[in-house]
């Protein structure tokens, strides 16, 4: 029973990891930009959801407001700043790192330095008995699992079954040729960056219900996301799914069963994967 609970907790964590890292890997795969501000979008999403729930008392609206706000922010930042320095890796690192400081400080000014935890209203604060067992499990965590699966299916459909998805995948293969096919790649970049920010913001809103939210949460989640996408394979959607499951489960088992080795449990697989398959489990050999 205990193992089952820990597995479910690990899956919940994997769900949050997936929301955050799928956005990160999408942006990296298509734009070749390692967006260090991705964690800051997560943080912002969490805070915005927190405040929305405080004011309106509806969690779903909180998630929506968080996702839309971070998406718009991502869109504006891509259009005004990121697209000016495209292709210059050093400038991209410095710019996205600079954005982290700016967003963190703004968040500090608005929400203060104490860790917050998003208190869910109504039914979401309760627990349910899982069918076919006597297991009682928090509704909030079930919601996270459900949302992660839905978003995963939605992204899969978008990427595999639509023309937009084909353009995005083609962009990962050969960006230049996508332009030569008559497709405005800049527009695709903007859309992908906004989608990445949306996923991070959504991850923050959901993550804030089970993880503490405060200064530094962004760096923590970014580290997790980096491990996830490196293990799974940078730029690969399936890699993000697999990486999230590995990282979520391992780090939760680590915390639960050998807390002093929790970080080892998280980073050991990273080292092993990097030694055996430097491109990640589902990554491709050439970039």
The helix or strand, by DSSP H or E, that contains position 222, with its residue range, turns out to be helix 217-232
Q: Return the number of the residue (212 or 238) whose C-beta is nearest another protein.
A: 238
Number of residues that bind another protein (CB under 8 A): 18
Which residues, 20 to 59, sit near another protein by CB under 8 A? none
Q: Return the number of the residue (179 or 216) whose C-beta is nearest another protein.
A: 179
Q: Return the number of the residue (49 or 188) whose C-beta is nearest another protein.
A: 188
Please report how close the Cβ of residue 166 comes to another protein at its closest, in angstroms.
5
Query: Are 78 and 190 contacting, i.e. CB atoms less than 8 angstroms apart?
Result: yes
Residue 167 near another protein by CB under 8 A = yes
Query: Are 218 and 100 contacting, i.e. CB atoms less than 8 angstroms apart?
Result: yes
Q: Which stretch binds another protein (CB under 8 A): 62-70, 79-87, 134-142, 173-181?
A: 173-181
Please report how close the Cβ of residue 168 comes to another protein at its closest, in angstroms.
10
Q: Return the number of the residue (3 or 166) whose C-beta is nearest another protein.
A: 166
Rounded Cα gap, residues 68 and 200, in angstroms? 11
Q: Which residue has the tokens 């998280």?
A: 266
Rounded Cα gap, residues 216 and 75, in angstroms? 24
Which residues, 175 to 194, sit near another protein by CB under 8 A? 176-185
Rounded Cα gap, residues 36 and 219, in angstroms? 9
Residue 124 near another protein by CB under 8 A = no
Q: Which of 2, 134, 163, 275 binds another protein (CB under 8 A)?
A: 163
Residue 164 near another protein by CB under 8 A = no
CA 43 to each of CA 20, 121, 129, 228: distance values in angstroms, whole numbers, following the listed order: 11, 21, 31, 18
Query: Are 21 and 243 contacting, i.e. CB atoms less than 8 angstroms apart?
Result: yes
Q: How many CA atoms lie within 13 A of 175 on its CB side?
A: 15
Rounded Cα gap, residues 261 and 57, in angstroms? 39
Residue 87 near another protein by CB under 8 A = no
Please report how close the Cβ of residue 222 comes to another protein at its closest, in angstroms.
27
Q: Return the number of the residue (53 or 172) whose C-beta is nearest another protein.
A: 172
State the sign of the Cα–Cα–Cα–Cα dihedral 272, 249, 243, 63.
negative
Q: Which stretch binds another protein (CB under 8 A): 31-39, 162-170, 218-226, 259-267?
A: 162-170
Residues that bind another protein (CB under 8 A): 163, 166-167, 169-170, 172-174, 176-185
């Amino acid at each position: 029973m205990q193992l089952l609970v820990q597995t479910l907790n690990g899956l919940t964590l994997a769900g949050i990891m997936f929301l955050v890292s799928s956005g990160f890997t999408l942006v990296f795969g298509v734009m070749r930009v390692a967006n260090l501000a991705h964690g800051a979008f997560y943080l912002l999403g969490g805070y915005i959801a927190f405040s929305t729930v405080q004011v309106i008392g509806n969690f779903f609206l909180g998630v929506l407001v968080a996702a839309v706000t971070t998406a718009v922010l991502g869109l504006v930042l891509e259009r005004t700043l990121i697209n000016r320095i495209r292709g210059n890796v050093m400038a991209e690192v410095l710019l996205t790192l600079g954005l982290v400081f700016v967003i963190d400080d703004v968040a500090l000014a608005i929400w203060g330095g104490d860790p917050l935890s998003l208190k869910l209203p109504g039914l979401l604060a309760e627990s349910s008995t899982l069918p076919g067992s006597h297991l009682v499990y928090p509704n909030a965590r079930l919601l996270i699992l459900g949302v992660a699966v839905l978003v995963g299916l939605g992204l899969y459909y978008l990427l595999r079954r639509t023309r937009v998805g084909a353009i995005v995948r083609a962009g990962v293969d050969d960006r230049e040729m996508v332009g030569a096919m008559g497709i405005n790649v800049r527009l695709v970049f903007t859309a992908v960056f906004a989608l990445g920010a949306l996923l991070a913001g959504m991850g923050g809103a959901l993550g804030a219900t089970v993880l503490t939210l405060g200064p530094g949460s962004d760096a923590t989640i970014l580290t997790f996301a980096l491990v996830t996408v490196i293990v799974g394979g940078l730029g690969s959607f399936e890699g993000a799914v697999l990486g999230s499951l590995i990282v979520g489960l391992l780090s939760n088992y680590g915390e639960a069963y050998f807390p002093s080795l929790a970080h080892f449990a998280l980073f050991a697989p990273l080292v092993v994967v990097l030694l055996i398959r430097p491109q990640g489990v589902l990554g491709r050999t050439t970039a």
